[in-house]
Each structure stands twice: as structure tokens, then as C-alpha cells.
Amino acid sequence: MKMKILVCSFILICGTLIPGFGQELSPKEIIRKADEKFNGEKTSISTMAMTIVRPTWKRTIEFKGWTKEKKYSLTLITAPAKDKGQSFLKREQEMWSWNPTISRLIKLPPSMMSQGWMGSDYTNDDILKESSVVYDYVHEILGEEEYDGRLCYKIKMVAKEDAAVIWGHQLRWIDKKDFLFLKSELYDEDGYLVRTELGSNIKSMDGRLIPTRIELIPAEEEGQMTIIEMKEMKFNEPIKESFFSQQNMKRVR
């Protein structure tokens, strides 16, 4: 009897002291874990290809990306040849673009965050990661749903009043086992669906499972979509803050 009491006491203590033991994660914590799973807890280095699909044509752009926490981001276009060398920088609240063809450095105002990046369905905000899915929204678990054979948390994210975001609210389906963003629905301030994102082709990159293919499908543009394919991802590599500079925009390779 004494041994049984001791075991029960140990379980209760562990449930109190160890986060996630004997208690459900909060919706904000679920979003944070999924975001870190995809972007790294500290830094990320990625190589990607983006295919822009339109009813009568399509084109593919290849690029590299470096991020450090939520403050710094640098993206370099590596193909096709006519776009090669263009770069985009975020340093805290400032954002810049560099075009080597005309040797011009342009500061991007906040009003440009909702504009399409490189002619795609992704916005400048998506690529430069100006907003935060963790801190700029209020999160609520709506329940659980199965998506693509995986049981997911279904979480609603409503933009905070003072947040500089372009979406009124989002719905996210996050795999319960591996904390993967598998499906997202993004709505404007009036509650209209603007686009849907679908994650698939789950692979291990740098020791963690992530969706390596993301399809972005606009709600009201038939035959139009943008596809992102992850070629390589590295997480939490040391990157100095000085790497994210206007000077490096012009010479990074």
C-alpha cells in the first residue's frame, strides 16, 4: 500500500513539474512548436524552388533563405538567370530589396507587405516573415480533425487588434504527433477566405520531419497556384547578426 501511494505521489509531482506531462498543450504552445519545427528555434538556412502556375503559363524561381529568430531574414534569388542576384532583407522593422541589374537598393514600406513576392501568390510578408503566427494572434483549439491520414489539432488564430498583420484570422491543421503545419486557411478582415495552403511530401531534413511541398491556392483565382518545394533545410546553425546587412545583400551567394 505504501509503495502504491509513493508511485501515485511521484506521478502527481511529475505532472506538476514537467511541461506537457499529464496536461494538454495550450493552442499557442502548439502553434509555437509547429512554427519552430519548420523554421528552427534560432536559425534556418534553406534552398527552395517556387513554381508559379497560371492558366496559360508557369515559371520556376529558385532561391536561398537565411533567418535568425524573428528579427532577421535574407533571401537570395539564384535562378532563373534574369532574376539571379536579387535579394531581400529584413532587419527588425526595416525591409529592403536589392536589384543588381539596375544597382538599386529599395526600402520596402509596410504597405508593400501584402503585395505578391516575385509575381507569386505569396506575399512579401510570407517571405520576409514580418508577422508572427505565435505572437500576433489569439489562438483557440476548435477540435481535432483528420487530414491526409493524420490526426490534427484544428486551431483558429484571430489577429490581435494592435498586430500589423494582413490576415483577419487563420485556421490551421497541425499534426498531433509531429507538430506539422499540414493545412491552413487564411481569411481577410471581413472573414472571406483568401487562400488555402496544403503541406505534403513529408521528409526528414536535418533530423526533423517537415512537409517539403507546399501548395498555395487562391480562393477566387481558378487555375492559379504557387508551389514551394524544399530542396534543403538546416536548423539552428550559427549565423551572426552582421550577416543580415545591406552590404551582404549585394555579395551573398
Residue 9: its pLDDT value, please?
41
Q: Which of 247, 246, 252, 241 is nearest to 67 (CA)?
A: 241
Q: Which of 120, 68, 110 is nearest to 248 (CA)?
A: 68
Distance of CA 175 to the CA centre of its chain: 15
Half-sphere exposure of 160 (CA within 13 A, CB side): 12
Length of the chain equals 253
Residues 6+ apart with CB under 8 A from 124: 88, 95, 108, 112, 113, 114, 115, 117, 130
Residue 6: its pLDDT value, please?
40
Q: What is the pLDDT along the chain (253 residues), one digit of tens a residue?
A: 444 444 444 333 333 333 444 458 999 999 999 999 888 889 999 999 999 999 999 999 999 999 998 889 999 999 999 999 999 999 987 889 999 999 999 998 877 877 888 989 988 878 776 678 999 999 999 999 999 999 999 999 999 998 888 899 999 999 999 999 999 999 999 999 999 999 999 999 999 999 999 999 999 999 999 999 999 999 999 999 999 999 999 999 8
Q: Which fold has domain 25-251?
A: outer membrane lipoprotein receptor (LolB), chain A (2.50.20)
Q: How far apart are CA 155 and CA 178, in angstroms?
A: 16
Pairing, β 72-79 against β 57-68: antiparallel
Q: Which of 127, 93, 126 is nearest to 110 (CA)?
A: 93
Instruction: Write out the H or E segment, with its range, that includes residue 165.
Output: none
What does each C-alpha distance from 239 to 42, 43, 59, 207 come to in angstroms? 9, 7, 31, 19
Number of H helices, E strands in the chain: 4, 13
Q: What is the CA radius of gyration of the chain?
A: 20
